[in-house]
Amino acid sequence: MKGISGETKNLGVIGWPIVHSLSPAMQAAAIRAAGIDYAYIAMPVHPEALTQAVAGLRSLGFRGFNVTIPHKTAIIECLDKIDEDARRIGAVNTVVIEDGRLSGHNTDVTGFLRGLSRQGMTVRGKRAALFGAGGAARAVIWGLAKEGAERITVGVRDEMKARAALADLASVVNLEVFSWEDTAFRDALKNAALLVNSTPLGMTPKLEAIPPVDWNLVQPSAFVYDIIYTPARTRFLQEAEARGHRVLNGTSMLVGQGAEALALWTGIQPDEAAMERALLDALAGKREADRA
């Protein structure tokens, strides 16, 4: 493989902190597999330095960059335009720089949907029940709406807060929000062809946590998707699997959002299997380091 040269085009990810980002490992694997002349690095950017850092990346001729916590919303002010997914979600995770102009995208939508389509799961005309109403939930809701889901019902611990947070999406999508204790949400569980967890409940290290689901209400044919990727099988997915449901974790969403970002920057269709292997290796390395 060719090393870095004066012709190498630069990519990266900005966040604060950024040391735990899995994107450099995934993107480096995709770049290697494609044999393209790009480099991808992690760049710590303090919130107060965001505008300056973005101007710097533009001046340095970066081809683009990913954006992670805490900059996903604040970055919008620094951009020349954003696409519809980013506008609906209110967050940008990918910036493309073309002729000095910055465009913002949100590839979580594509990543989430790619996981479903790989499993042969279609949502058109079907109902979905979703736990959680945070940033990731917005990408899930918008993705499901774009794919033609008939109705999306969100269950949360704080109904008032979630209704306020999702009011803009509810005005354009067939969306309802209830406390997950509410009978209306329990009814939605009965009618859902797809259940999605978009809360952090069950994520490492709190492995015992689980969103409140009464499996007796859920149709046996329902597809169960947890967008968490550590651990690979949350308690939510383990219980679903034990009841015979088809299940999916968040790995394919994470790989899919990264692949879509690289496609936007380079025009290639990345090798997602290579990206997934690199991601799983990086996660295994993290577990080793945590145990040491």
Q: Using CB under 6 A, list all residues that contact ligand NAP.
A: 108, 111, 132-137, 156-158, 161, 198-201, 203, 227-229, 250, 253-254, 257
Q: Which of 221, 154, 96 is nearest to 164 (CA)?
A: 154
By beta carbon distance, the residue nearest ligand NAP is 134
CB of 270 to ligand NAP, least distance (A): 15
Rounded CA gap, 20 and 279, in Å?
12
Q: Which is nearer to ligand NAP, 45 or 91 (CB)?
A: 91
Q: How far is CA 134 from the centre of its chain?
A: 12
End-to-end CA distance of the chain: 33
Q: Which two tokens stand for residue 38?
A: 């790009």
Rounded CA gap, 128 and 110, in Å?
17
CB of 158 to ligand NAP, least distance (A): 4
Q: Which is nearer to ligand NAP, 12 or 111 (CB)?
A: 111
Q: Which is nearer to ligand NAP, 97 or 106 (CB)?
A: 106
CB of 8 to ligand NAP, least distance (A): 27
Q: Which is nearer to ligand NAP, 20 or 161 (CB)?
A: 161
Q: Which is nearer to ligand NAP, 97 or 139 (CB)?
A: 139
Q: Has 126 been annotated as catalytic?
A: no
Rounded CA gap, 159 and 271, in Å?
41
Catalytic residue among 2, 9, 72, 286: 72
CB of 205 to ligand NAP, least distance (A): 12
Neighbour tally for 290: CB within 10 Å:
9
CB of 135 to ligand NAP, least distance (A): 4
- The type of residue at 132 is G
Neighbour tally for 149: CB within 10 Å:
23
- The type of residue at 254 is L
Rounded CA gap, 236 and 156, in Å?
16
Task: With beta carbons less than 8 A apart as the criterion, state whether 114 and 256 touch.
Answer: yes
Active centre residues (catalytic): 72
